[in-house]
Amino acid sequence: MTVPPFGLGTFRLKGQVVRDSVRNALELGYRAIDTAQFYDNEGEIGETIAQSGMGRSELYVTTKIKMPNYSREKLVPSLRESLEKLQMDSVDLALIHWPVPNGEVKPEEYLEALADAHAQGLTGEIGVSNFNIQQLRRAREILGDVPLATNQVEIHPYLQNRTLAQFARQEGLHLTSYMTLAVGKVMADPVMQDIARAHGATPAQVALAWALQQGHSVIPSSTKRENLQSNLGALELRLTDEDMARIGELDRGERIANPPHMAPDWD
């Protein structure tokens, strides 16, 4: 696995808020930053990283291509534009953000264009986000020898995506969990609170550790320095088999991110 297990997510963070979040995260020891063209914050992130004085080789930066840039003519130029905003020669990982199953641009076109970006050295690795099993199989057929570094998908205690996760394990495909805290719902969950108390931890740390112990990467976001620091504690937390089983019982298929026209038929 080349994708770092723990990184900073920046969805919905803009302006000074994202600058502060990235700056605090870097100071606290985060070394992976996740953004996207759709987030409209690549410029602020690039400025903050440049101001940090941190060497490029110390960081793992991910961005995602948005739907209007999927065509063969637009994808590579759009990634070059992202690189200008990020003030980098290349990102470490570029993803297709949503599969858009009924879109005008077919996966053959946008995946081959993404592979071309990789061949040009604009990204160290490529991957996808929000792909179902059928789309993952097709992506691998299209890409051939170019591996998928990850499939970034919504995974949290209330949406455990077990069918997809089992397929990924069987096929040696890595998953990155987003919305691992279920937009804060885990904090008020009695089961998560009980497990947290037993470990002297927070419910957020428990949710992140639960995902990490399944082999997933996590990219939680926060605007508060103390929460950014606390979330890192998940890396040291080891849940018991009983803890994992109790969290497993919380699954209720509660999907948060499901935009029409872009989302697939979920497994």
Question: The CATH number of the domain where 156 resides is what?
Answer: 3.20.20.100
Is 128 a member of any domain?
Answer: yes
Is 263 a member of any domain?
Answer: no
Please state, rounded to an integer, the average pLDDT across all residues of the chain: 97
The alpha carbon dihedral of 50, 56, 62, 64 has a sign of positive
Is 221 a member of any domain?
Answer: yes
Q: Which long-range contacts (CB under 8 A, 24 or more apart) does 83-86 make?
A: 83/122, 85/42, 85/43, 85/45, 85/46, 86/35, 86/42, 86/43, 86/45, 86/46, 86/49, 86/61
**C-alpha closest to that of 191 among 251, 254, 253, 257:** 251
Residue 116: pLDDT over 80: yes
pTM exceeds 0.95 for this model: yes
Q: What mean pLDDT do residues 98-121 have?
A: 97
Is 261 a member of any domain?
Answer: no
Residue 1: pLDDT over 70: no
Measured distance CA(202)–CA(168) in Å, rounded: 29
Flag whether 261 is marked binding.
Answer: no
Q: Residue 159 is part of which domain span?
A: 8-248
Residue 35: pLDDT over 80: yes
Q: What mean pLDDT do residues 69-91 have?
A: 98
Beta-carbon contacts of residue 172 (< 8 Å; ≥ 6 apart): none
- Report the percent of the chain where pLDDT is more than 90: 100
**pLDDT value of position 229:** 98
Is 257 a member of any domain?
Answer: no
Question: What is the set of active-site residues?
Answer: 39
Residue 144: pLDDT over 90: yes
Measured distance CA(44)–CA(219) in Å, rounded: 18
* Total of domains in the chain: 1
Is 265 a member of any domain?
Answer: no
Residue 58: pLDDT over 80: yes
Is 260 a member of any domain?
Answer: no
Is 102 a member of any domain?
Answer: yes
**C-alpha closest to that of 34 among 142, 143, 176:** 176
Gap between the terminal Cα atoms of the chain: 24
